[in-house]
Structure 1
Amino acid sequence: MSVKIPAEIHEIKEFVPLQVEVGSNFEDALRRFKSLVQKSKILSLYKEKQHYEKPSEKKRRKRREAKERRRLTLLRERQMANGEWDRKQKNREDKRRDRYDEEEYHE
């Protein structure tokens, strides 16, 4: 079975090869590689083009995705109204700060 590479993938020219220095952290390089691939949308385009999606199915999927986005937006607005969002943001920032401090400590 051969897979036809979509024309959109050939048009992507923003993908920058990842340069890894010898002795650098592999996990960091892998994380950077994954983010580069995700930003270039290569995998998402490939997955979309693997199977034919009928226009009605595409419309239904888009409607379902929009409904989920609206639900999450309403949830976030509700959390902002009662102050829960600020608490969550503070916790996230604290975790990031702790993780950064741990990495700095280990180097």
Structure 2
Amino acid sequence: MAITHPQGMRPQMPAAARVAATSNPIVATRVLPALAVVGATYAVVSYVRSELGREQNTFDKMFNQQNTPEVMAARKKALDIEVNGDPRNNLLNILGWSK
């Protein structure tokens, strides 16, 4: 059963929506999904970056309380830092990259 509308009473899309929907379908099919992917990626990267910064600050505070001169001297002797280098400056130490 078809719904009939009296003459001139058909529901109409707003003029701006009609123009946007019919003028450039590439925007709807290519650009909008790409913008969504870029936005989601940016959000995830920002979140991970902020969490790593927060963790770094937490560990820095904790280690600064524990790293007394006596502890550092014992650590330097046990790890042979003069020979092997400081493991905190290792390339794989992600939390220490900003230093």
TM range (shorter): 0.3 to 0.5
Pick the structure with greater CA Rg. Answer: 2
Q: TM-score normalized by structure 1? A: 0.33
Q: TM-score normalized by structure 2? A: 0.35
